[in-house]
Amino acid sequence: TQLLEQSPQFLSIQEGENLTVYCNSSSVFSSLQWYRQEPGEGPVLLVTVVTGGEVKKLKRLTFQFGDARKDSSLHITAAQPGDTGLYLCAGGSGGSNYKLTFGKGTLLTVNP
């Protein structure tokens, strides 16, 4: 069974601070996705990384896939209250990436 461990589980910061969220596994994944989920809604895909060492930027968010494709990180620069939400990582395996394994999430609160 593949497991994804996310840390920290909870994070509360002030507006303007930087933060990093981690997603780690002992298993190799063919792809790694990050989602953000707001209360009462479904997760929304932020990014997909597929190549070891890959770095993707989405405005103030930077995503990195580890060289060995076992871990990933999400870095947010100058966090804003609108960044508040549950951040989930999900790993895909096999050729189709159909069956995703989700981490338990990091609940981020950005205080104004």
Partner 1 sequence: NAGVTQTPKFQVLKTGQSMTLQCAQDMNHEYMSWYRQDPGMGLRLIHYSVGAGITDQGEVPNGYNVSRSTTEDFPLRLLSAAPSQTSVYFCASQTGIEQYFGPGTRLTVT
> How many residues lie near partner 1 (CB under 8 A)?
23
Nearer Cβ to partner 1 (84/106): 106
Residue with tokens 């609108």: 82
The one among 33, 64, 72, 84 contacting partner 1 by CB under 8 A: 33
- Half-sphere exposure of 1 toward its Cβ, with a 13 Å CA cutoff? 5
41 binds partner 1 (CB under 8 A): yes
How far apart (Å, rounded) are the C-alpha atoms in residues 70 and 52? Answer: 9
CA distance 100 to 61: 22
17 binds partner 1 (CB under 8 A): no
User: Which one of the spans 17-25, 51-59, 68-76, 95-103 is the region binding partner 1 (CB under 8 A)?
Assistant: 95-103
* Of 49, 44, 47, the residue nearest 29 (C-alpha): 49
Q: Which residues of this chain interact with partner 1, rule CB under 8 A?
A: 31, 33, 35, 40-45, 48, 50, 88, 90, 92, 96-100, 102-105
